[in-house]
Chain A
Amino acid sequence: MNGILATLQRELRAYFFSPLAYVVLCFLLVVNGIVFALILSFLNDPMSPAGRPLDLFFGGTFFFWLVVVFVAPVLTMRLLAEERRSGSIEVLMTAPVTEGQVVAGKYLAALLFYAFLWLPTLAYAGIVAYNSKIDWGVVGAGYLGILLVGALFLSVGTFTSAMTSNQIIAAVMAFAILLGLFAFSLVQYLATASAFKDALAYLSIPQHMEEFAKGVVDTRRLVFYVTSTLFFLFLTSRALEARKWR
């Protein structure tokens, strides 16, 4: 536990002390601000269909995915790759901590920072609540969706960061895997066999997010995200152990 907490604290500090974090935060705020403004003006048009702004905001637009797919690898690329590049992994792994604890600490720091990045968007919910009625349950489900999707994406990024000592390679690999996961969901529209189609639909991340944004919290989705996140974290800790045998 000590190992996890010490690593978590150090990594969080590293996030808040690095300029990258603020660049990402600004990027996210600008993109989200523009998207939210666009959604509002779209819904204000009497010709447009009825809809709730936050439903559209959470995963309803292409920008949402652009942001998440980009931001996750950028947040995680440093975690383990930098330890390996600088050699600080040697001091780290000779301390009385396990690979699993190090991975858990670093991953949780990334997840917390990711959650922090979304905090300012609560203002949008506030704006909507101030001007009309809002169902906080639905908003909560939307944030849960963001957290779950982020958790999976960050675990993929942590994994690729453990594979290399080059941050750029780690980020690009994570980006490729995430795009792959994402593109996978589009294959269902090409599938003809219904069982295959259903299986793909089960794995379709944009579809999951759409459900969350509508306020539907399906246990199957929770299981999917939690298990796949843990799977990638397990791979990460194995990748870290594999260093010993090269």
Chain B
Amino acid sequence: MIEAHELTRRYGPATAVDGLSFAVGEHEIVGILGPNGAGKTTTLRMITGFLPPNEGRVSVAGYDLFEEPRRARRQIGYLPENVALYSEMRVEEYLSYRARLEGLDRTAARRAIEESLERCLIADVRHQIIGTLSKGYRQRVGLAQAILHDPRVLVLDEPTVGLDPKQIIAIRALIRELGQERALLLSTHILPEVELICDRVLIIDRGRIVGEGTPEDLRTRLQGATVLRVELKGAPAGADDTLAGLDGVDGVRPHPTEPAKLLVECATGADPREAIFHTAVDQGWVLLGLEEERASLEDVFIRLTTHEAERAATPVSEGFDGEPAEEEALADDDPPEADGSDDTEQEVIQ
């Protein structure tokens, strides 16, 4: 449905997207994952025809975006990152304006409006002025606008950004549903989201694809070994060597910031916590703390992309969205949503 071939886009001297090629098949939900400034939005803008690439080609539903731009765009529904709607219009008015813009005739427009109002669960606010709607509702109006003309391709740029957890759950469920019937390309920098929604993931950094695969592939590739944080009173000498000798322990290193603590790397699948406790008792150490330092997917992801960035060592380092650095932006991701509510979300969606 979507074929992008060697897309390159430069903003002045900075290369935002650098020779990106990928394809999205019918009924497939593909997520573009990357830190802020990785070129996600630029890529999506090129797919939707808002920005032309400096090099490369895009075809959507079989139409080349440059040779038959209007045919191709008719097949695309697009929800930009900051859903900008005309705030003085009422929801229904706005949708009927969009329907006309898409070239639907009167009866088709009326049917399409009813259907998308219903699907996006905004029928109750149809007469409300858009400016008075909450962010979640506005996002849904944006989605309604995107699916109005029943496009074969849906492009969503960070569809859950700025929503509260409940709204995120609802939007994700809706996205999954919409993806059953069409090709869907979405961008995000939230890893759990990718796992919940997408069939396939492209990880991009500095405008290049640095990883591709199903979310399961991704998880196994990204997830490192479990690390335990061990705090011993008085930091007894030789403790690190002793612990390193235990079964199921791959290595021991001092905690980078807290000298009283040791980081114990576990072998895959092993849980040496009990052994550590008994060792401490045998040695007469006072065990003050023993906890799993869970490398969250986010942490691993940061490591991956930062690492890639350093290896690339290009002078182009600033984010072009106005974001100063990737690390910072990623750190902003809502941890409660990433940890606590994951299970409930999974339930709701299934």
Contacts and interface: CB of A to CB of B under 8 A. Distances in A.
The answer on A and B forming one complex is: yes
B50 A90 contact: yes
Nearest to B142: A91
Contacts of B74: 96
Given A10-B86, A90-B80, A90-B84, A96 B50 contact: no
A131 interface: no
Given A94-B48, A94-B49, A244-B52, A18 B88 contact: yes
Contacts of B69: 96
A86 interface: yes
Nearest to A84: B84
B123 interface: no
A6 B84 contact: no
Contacts of A90: 45, 50, 78, 80, 84
Contact of A96 (B70, B89, B93): B70
Nearest to B146: A91
Determine the main DSSP class of A at the interface with B.
helix
A244 B50 CA distance: 7
Interface residues of A, number: 27
Contacts of A5: 100
Contacts of A95: 73, 98, 101-102
Which of the listed residues A10, A90, A92 has the most CB atoms from chain B within 10 Å of its own CB? A90
A168 B138 CA distance: 28
A96 B100 CA distance: 10
Interface string A1-22: 0110111011001100110000
Nearest to B74: A96
A91 B73 contact: no
A44 interface: no
B97 interface: yes
B286 to A, nearest CB: 59
Interface in B62-88: 69-71, 73-74, 76, 78, 80, 82, 84-86, 88
A88 interface: yes
B51 interface: yes
A93 interface: yes
Contacts of A3: 101, 103
Contacts of B51: 244
A6 B97 contact: yes
Interface of B: 11, 45, 48-52, 69-71, 73-74, 76, 78, 80, 82, 84-86, 88-89, 93, 97-98, 100-103, 142, 145
Given A2-B101, A14-B86, A89-B84, 20 more contacts: A9-B97, A10-B86, A17-B88, A87-B82, A87-B84, A88-B86, A90-B45, A91-B78, A91-B80, A91-B84, A91-B142, A94-B73, A94-B76, A94-B78, A95-B101, A96-B102, A97-B70, A244-B50, A244-B51, A246-B11
20 contacts: A2-B101, A3-B103, A6-B100, A6-B101, A7-B101, A10-B86, A17-B88, A88-B86, A90-B78, A91-B98, A94-B48, A94-B50, A94-B73, A96-B70, A96-B101, A96-B103, A97-B101, A98-B70, A244-B51, A246-B11
